[in-house]
Amino acid sequence: MTQGQAGVDRARALADPASFDEIADPALRRVLRSYLVRGRLPVLPRGGVKRSLLLAYLATAFEPGVRYRETEVNSIVGVWNPDVAALRRYLVDAGLLARQDSVYWRCGGWT
């Protein structure tokens, strides 16, 4: 299995509403239940704590220390929303992913 496919599998597991009950942070559970609809992210909060929580959660689909090609990142974030360019940009802007020459890696977020 490739790193990209492993990330897609992790993203699908993270998007599964049944997994939200296992999350200890009640604020994160509320945000996920509010914004993830049947495993999809139709809209992202404009900013603030909700957006930060949601992006940090999405970033956990990426393994720290692993380099991902842009196509792999697209496949992973595409699990949540078809606007993969926007989600990639939001993750980079939030300091959760870093990018150089179309290669991405996780540089922030929860461990």
Query: Any idea where the domains of the chain sit in the sequence?
Result: 3-106
- Against a cut of 0.75, is the pTM above it? yes
DSSP 2: -
Please tell me the predicted confidence (pLDDT) of residue 7: 92
**pLDDT, one tens digit for every residue, the chain (111 residues):** 787 789 999 999 999 999 999 999 999 999 999 999 999 999 999 889 999 999 999 999 999 999 999 999 999 999 999 999 999 999 999 999 999 999 999 998 876
Please tell me the predicted confidence (pLDDT) of residue 92: 97
Please tell me the predicted confidence (pLDDT) of residue 111: 62
Q: Which of 76, 52, 50, 51 is nearest to 63 (CA)?
A: 76
- Give the count of alpha carbons within 13 A of 56, CB side only: 16
DSSP string, 14-65: HH-GGGGGG-S-HHHHHHHHHH-BTTB-S---SSHHHHHHHHHHHHTTSPBT
How many residues make up the chain in this entry? 111
